[in-house]
A and B are shown apart, each in its own frame.
Chain A
């Protein structure tokens, strides 16, 4: 569906803008999670086919004609995997933030400049 594709791209751009423009470390991770949601919506909407049901072959679907009645199952499987990994990566990033805060007592990314150039 074209609307969800546009929505996904807009969320991706908002997330990237947040990652680039924010100075607070937790805000940067929030931007990352928004971009993550946007990418998932893009992938799922590519697999959508008009007037079809979910890829679950119960009594609602005529099994002999299942290929003409269900949406694409592969993007669903990919996104399912990506969401779980997204959680793990977000948790790892947040634990890095907590460790950094213990060292420098600051959440601003401007305070973490070891190099001049």
Chain B
């Protein structure tokens, strides 16, 4: 029962975060919001009984993907400054 409540709460947060991530005008905030979805998804994998996937999603999905997005955004903005 407690796991169902957790999944519903986490799911609502994830769906809202997904809609916000697509509507934000600020790209930096949108990237961080999209990283939050992956982080919460790893909790859901843990509830679903697959800790291996939870570890992978927490480290890759929310960690490295966000970092790579931020580096790409940084590169694009640096191009702007050079000219």
Contacts and interface: CB of A to CB of B under 8 A. Distances in A.
A37 B41 contact: yes
A40 B69 CA distance: 20
B53 A7 contact: no
Q: Is the interface of A mostly helix, strand, loop or mixed?
A: helix
B79 A101 contact: yes
A41 to B, nearest CB: 6
A52 B48 CA distance: 9
Interface in B14-71: 14-15, 18-19, 21-22, 27, 30-31, 34, 37-38, 41, 44-45, 48-53, 56-57, 60-61, 64-65, 68-69
Nearest to A31: B22
Q: How large is the interface on B (under 10, 10 to 19, 20 to 34, 35 or more residues)?
A: 35 or more
Given A26-B73, A44-B48, A84-B60, A76 B34 contact: no
A111 B76 CA distance: 16
A105 B57 contact: no
Nearest to A87: B60
A98 B52 CA distance: 33
A75 B50 CA distance: 9
A91 B22 contact: no
Interface of A: 1, 3-4, 6-7, 10-11, 14-15, 17-18, 21-22, 24, 26-27, 29-31, 33-34, 37, 40-41, 44-45, 47-48, 52-56, 70-71, 75-76, 79-80, 83-84, 86-87, 90-91, 94-95, 97-98, 101-102, 105, 107
Given A10-B15, A95-B72, A98-B75, 9 more contacts: A1-B7, A10-B11, A27-B27, A30-B31, A33-B38, A47-B48, A53-B49, A83-B60, A87-B60
